Amino acid sequence: MKPLLLAPALLAFAVAAQAAPTTYDIEPTHTYPSFEADHMGLSNWRGKLNKSAGTIVYDKATGAGSVDVKMDLASIDFGLDAMNAWATGEKFFNVEKNPSATFKGRFDGAKGGVPTQVVGELTLNGKTWPLTLTVNQLKCVPHPMLKRELCGADASGSFNRGEFGLDAGKDYGFKMDVNLRIQVEAIAKE
């Protein structure tokens, strides 16, 4: 009779253990925030940030969690050295004064344990504005070599760079909207 009474308690414990959030370290060699910005209405400049770090907390049972990412602005890569030098210089990012950008947010709109968006704030050029990213894909699998869980996601959103005081080219007709596409992979902490 006692084993029958113990079974519901063990089941409740197992469910609670599975529902615990997991903390993941962002894998910098598989994470590249990329962007697309207007060039006088003629074309779009595309680039990426080659260095980023941070953590993601994710509860797969509920879809709840958070994101905290720091991006190294000196690692900007347009595929053109002259453009990289200009963007990191005094007239744009001024990386000596503002070396990084951060995004902090929380998961929202979960469907089946998978969030549909990350609602947060982007800090760039010493200014902070709200930014919501759409989660286009999120999947977790066992890492074949590390034997820990590996999660990957693709998210997208946009912001107005003028709100951050980055309005170079505005007088020449450059649009201020910047489209983001972020691929991220993160490994569960040991």
Rounded to whole angstroms, how far apart are CA atoms 152 and 150?
Answer: 7
Count of domains for the chain: 1
Structural domain contains residue 5: no
Structural domain contains residue 12: no
Structural domain contains residue 88: yes
Residue 92 is part of which domain span?
Answer: 21-188
pLDDT in the model for residue 82: 96
Tens digits of residue pLDDT in 95-117:
999 999 999 999 999 999 999 99
pLDDT in the model for residue 19: 60
Give 154's contacts (C-beta < 8 A, 6+ positions apart).
135, 136, 137, 138, 181, 182, 183, 184
Structural domain contains residue 58: yes
Please identify every stretch of the chain with a pLDDT value under 50, giving residue numbers as ranges.
1-17
Please report, for the domain that includes residue 93, its CATH number. 2.40.128.110
pLDDT in the model for residue 127: 97
Rounded to whole angstroms, how far apart are CA atoms 148 and 23?
Answer: 12
Please count the residues of the chain: 190
Structural domain contains residue 71: yes
Structural domain contains residue 13: no
Structural domain contains residue 1: no
Structural domain contains residue 8: no
